Amino acid sequence: MKCNYCRKQVSGNLTLAEIFLPKRILTEELCVQCSEQFQLLTNKNCCGGCQRQNVQGYCRDCIKWQSLFPDYDFQHEALFSYNQAMQEWFEEYKFKGNYQLRYSFVSYLQTYFKKKSRFLVIPIPVSKERLKDRGFNQVAGLLDAAGINHESYLVRFSDGLSQVRKNRKERLELEQPFQLTKKGAQSITNKEIILVDDIYTTGRTIFHAAQVILEKKPKKLHTFSLAR
């Protein structure tokens, strides 16, 4: 087996299930050295809205969002810290187009979404221009690799620089870039929804997407990202 990220040989004893799923193991396994570089987030001593670490109560971003969306019970969860290792991983996956890396965190995503089985999963979309340039939607790629069903009920009609490449002021000033598809507008009322993004920074992208979904009165709306 080879590590999905660094491509070094991975040694270890295979389970019976792994013996009968060799292709899956070859594409999903991270070696111990790579795994240890990615920092899992905790639910203790963190912002009650966005899981920002080492915050008591709510961070300043979430206080702002609460004032703008007082009726929205915002709950964001993420798996990993957007540390240096994760930044480098996203550079390779998202910006250099190494699509094979969509398998890197399969087991983590499957474990998380197993608890969300009743939710309708909607990934944050990329624009047609970005999709043509990159060749894939990085969020949908992560979900597909983990075998998580999702619906493309949002479309992005404007683009520009990636959020990661914008400064804080540029992120917060971004105008509404999303709208629901016709099918999406007809399908989310009174449903439990989970919006999925790759990285959470200020929350601007998530709240834009949430805004158009909340207009259709879902039963519940949660948000999730791989990194925060």
Listed by start position, the domains of the chain span 1-36, 39-227
- pLDDT tens for 159-217 read 655 555 555 566 556 789 999 999 999 999 999 999 999 999 999 999 999 999 999 99
For 41-54, the pLDDT digits (tens) are: 999 999 999 999 99
The CATH number of the structural domain formed by 39-227 is: 3.40.50
Q: Rounded distance, CA 224 to CA 76, Å?
A: 6
Beta-strand runs (E) in the chain? 76-80, 120-123, 154-156, 178-180, 192-199, 220-227
